[in-house]
Amino acid sequence: MNHFFTKFAPGLIVAILLVSCWYSVHLLLTQSPATDTQEAASNLPGDADIVTLPAGKLTAANLETSSVQSHVLEMANIITGRIQYDERKHVDIKAPLDGLLQEIVVTPGEQVGRGELIAIMRSPDIGQARSDVIKRKRELDLATQILHRESTIADNLSKLLAKITPPANTSTSELNTDESALGTYRLEILTAHAKLQLAQELLNNIQPLAETGAIPGRTIRERQAELQIARSTFQTACDQALYNSTQSKFASEAKVAEAQRQFHLAQQSLEALLGYKDIDDSSNLTSEEALSRLEIRAPFSGTIESRGFANQERVSKGDSIMALANTTSLYVSANLREGDWSAISLTAGTKIKVEVPALEHRSFDAVVSFVGREIDRESKAIPLVATIDNPEGLLRPGMFVRVTIPVGKPRQAITISSNAIVQHENHSFAFVDLGGGRFRKVDVRTGQATEDWVEVLDGLRLGDAVVARGAFLLKSELLLQGETE
C-alpha cells in the first residue's frame, strides 16, 4: 500500500493543480464582464430616468413645456341636460273667444316683430264689446258737456251775485243786458231783484208825503214791510241759486267720473278680448264687419314655430292658433342628483359651461337662473335652469347637452397641465426639461384634477419646466431605452 501511494502520489498532485488552475481561469473569464458592467452602472446613478433626444428627433417631436404654477382649482361635475324654450319668450297664441278664423297672414318659420299682424278673426262678441265702448264713450262726452255747462253757470252766478251786492247799486235793466249763461237762475234772481227794486221805489216815493202828513203812517209802515219781504226774498233766491248751482256742478262731476270708469272698464274688456289695445277710431266702426273684426298681433318679436288652423276655419275659445318663440336666448334644463347636493352650491347668476355634442362638442356659457327647492319624487333630483344666449341660432330646443357644474369652493393649488401627466403600471410621472434635449422622469403624486389642470401634491416644485405636449413620446423613448439596456 505504501508502495502504491509512493508510486502515484506525485501524479495525482499535479493533476489536482492543473484542474484548479483551469477552473480559476474559467471563473475569471465568465464573471469579470458582468462585474465591470455593474460597477460602471453604479458610478452613474439616475441615468435610467433620463431621456436624451438627438437634435433631429427633438425638432420632429415639437415638444412644448409649461411651468409648474399656483392656480385656482375649482372642481366640477358633468351632468346631462336639454335645451328648452325660454318660457318668457315662448307662447301659444290662442283664440280669445269663439269665432271665424278669417285669415292667417304668417307662415311657420317666418320672423315677426312685436305688434305685427299675424291673424284676423271675426266674432260677434268683439262687435258687442266695441259697441259698448262706443256707447260708454258717448255717455262720457255727454257728461263732460253737462259738467262744462254747470261749471260755467256756477262761475257766472258767483260773478253776478258779487255784482249785485248790495242790490241797490245795480238796476234790473243793467242785469238784463248781461248775456252770461245762468240757466234758470237768471229768471229767479232777476224777478226777485225787480220786486226788491220796486218795493224800494215805492217806499222812496211816499216817504216825502208821509213827512207832510198827506199819507197815513200805516201806509208807510206797510211799504217798509213790503221792502223787507222783497229784500229777504231776493237774498233767499240768491242763496238758493248759489247752492243749487254748486250741487249741480258736484253732481255733474260725479257723473263724469262714473262715465269715465264705465268707459275704461269697457275698454279693458275689449282689450282683454283682443289681446292688445284697440286704437281704431270709433267713427270708423260704422259697419258690423268693422265692429266684429279681431286682429291678432304678435306679443313680442320672434319666429312662428307652428300653425294649428287654416283660413276660414271656425275656432273655439282657447284653441291654439299658432306658436310664437324668440330663440335668441334659451333655457338649459338639467337635474341635480341627490349625491351632488352637499357639494354643489349654485346661486342665480353663477356662470356654468354647456357642451353640445351635436355641434362637434362646441361649448357655450350659460347663467344659472333658477335652482329648485322641491325634490322630484321619482328622480330624487332638483331642477336646474340656466339661460343661454343663442345669437347665431345654432342651438335648438330639444338638443342634448352636457353641463359642467362647479363643486365646492375654488382654492389655490400647485398645478400642472393635465397633458403633462403620464402613467405606467399605475405610477404617475412627468418629464422635467433639463435643456439640451435631455428630460428627467419625475414621479408625481397628484390630487384633484379638472379638465385642464392637475393638482401636484409631491414631486415637483413651483417653476419647474415640465413637458406639456409630447410627454407620451418621451414615455415611449424611456421604455425603449429600458428594453435596450
Q: Any idea what the CATH number is for the domain that residue 171 is in? A: 1.10.287
Q: Write out the three cell numbers for 412.
A: 389655490
Asked if residue 429 is part of any domain, the answer here is yes
pLDDT in tens, 167-180: 655 665 555 556 67
Residue with cell 433626444: 53
The enclosing domain of 355 has a CATH number of 2.40.30.170
Mean pLDDT for the chain? Answer: 80
Where among 269, 288, 306 does a domain terminate? 269
Domain co-membership, 333 together with 460: yes
Domain co-membership, 385 together with 417: yes
Which of the pair, 186 or 18, is modelled with greater confidence?
186
Pairing relation of β-strands 64-67 and 465-469?
Answer: antiparallel
Report residue 474's pLDDT band, with 50, 70 and 90 as the boundaries.
Answer: confident
pLDDT value at residue 262: 94
352 closest CA partner among 391, 392, 396, 387 = 387
Q: Is the pLDDT of residue 412 over 90?
A: no
Report residue 250's pLDDT band, with 50, 70 and 90 as the boundaries.
Answer: very high
Helices (H) and strands (E) in the chain, counts: 8, 22
DSSP string, 332-389: EEEEEEGGGTTT----TT-EEEEEEGGGTTEEEEEEEEEE--SPPTTT-EEEEEEEEE
Using only C-alpha atoms, the chain has a radius of gyration, in whole angstroms, of: 55
pLDDT value at residue 16: 61
Domain co-membership, 261 together with 349: no
Domain co-membership, 351 together with 420: yes
- CA dist 385 and 211 (Å) reads 109
Domain co-membership, 14 together with 162: no
Report residue 51's pLDDT band, with 50, 70 and 90 as the boundaries.
Answer: confident
Contacts of 81 (CB under 8 A, 6+ apart): 332, 333, 334, 335, 354, 384, 400, 401, 402, 403
Residue type, 291: L
Asked if residue 116 is part of any domain, the answer here is no
Asked if residue 395 is part of any domain, the answer here is yes
- CA dist 397 and 409 (Å) reads 32
Across the range 19-42, mean pLDDT stands at 42
Domain co-membership, 376 together with 424: yes
Q: Is the pLDDT of residue 39 over 60?
A: no
Domain co-membership, 22 together with 76: no
Domain co-membership, 480 together with 345: yes
Where among 269, 296, 312 does a domain terminate? 269
Domain co-membership, 80 together with 19: no
Domain co-membership, 36 together with 69: no
pLDDT value at residue 42: 34
Domain co-membership, 345 together with 472: yes
Asked if residue 175 is part of any domain, the answer here is yes
The count of structural domains within the chain is 3
Residue type, 156: N
DSSP string, 395-410: --TT-EEEEEEEEEEE
- CA dist 268 and 256 (Å) reads 18
- CA dist 62 and 96 (Å) reads 69
Across the range 248-275, mean pLDDT stands at 89
Top-ranked range on mean pLDDT: pick from 68-77, 159-168, 347-356: 347-356
Contacts of 31 (CB under 8 A, 6+ apart): none
255-263: long-range contacts, CB 8 A cutoff, minimum separation 24: 255/143, 255/146, 255/147, 256/140, 256/143, 256/144, 256/147, 258/143, 259/136, 259/139, 259/140, 259/142, 259/143, 259/144, 260/140, 262/136, 262/139, 262/140, 263/133, 263/136, 263/137, 263/139, 263/140
User: Considering the entire predicted model, what is its pTM?
Assistant: 0.52
Q: Is the pLDDT of residue 63 over 80?
A: yes
Asked if residue 279 is part of any domain, the answer here is no
Residues in the chain, total: 485
Where among 247, 269, 291 does a domain terminate? 269
Asked if residue 416 is part of any domain, the answer here is yes
Q: Is the pLDDT of residue 452 over 90?
A: no
pLDDT value at residue 209: 74
Report residue 115's pLDDT band, with 50, 70 and 90 as the boundaries.
Answer: confident
pLDDT value at residue 137: 92
List, in sequence order, every beta strand (DSSP E) within 4-68. 50-52, 64-67
Asked if residue 128 is part of any domain, the answer here is no
Q: Is the pLDDT of residue 276 over 80?
A: no
Phi/psi of residue 285, nearest 5 degrees: -95, 60
pLDDT value at residue 304: 92
Report residue 15's pLDDT band, with 50, 70 and 90 as the boundaries.
Answer: low
Domain co-membership, 472 together with 347: yes
pLDDT in tens, 316-366: 988 999 999 998 999 999 988 876 665 566 778 888 899 999 998 889 999
Q: Is the pLDDT of residue 40 over 60?
A: no
- Domain ranges, residue 18: 1-45
Asked if residue 361 is part of any domain, the answer here is yes
Contacts of 422 (CB under 8 A, 6+ apart): 428, 429, 430, 431, 471, 472, 474, 475
Q: Write out the three cell numbers for 315.
A: 275656432
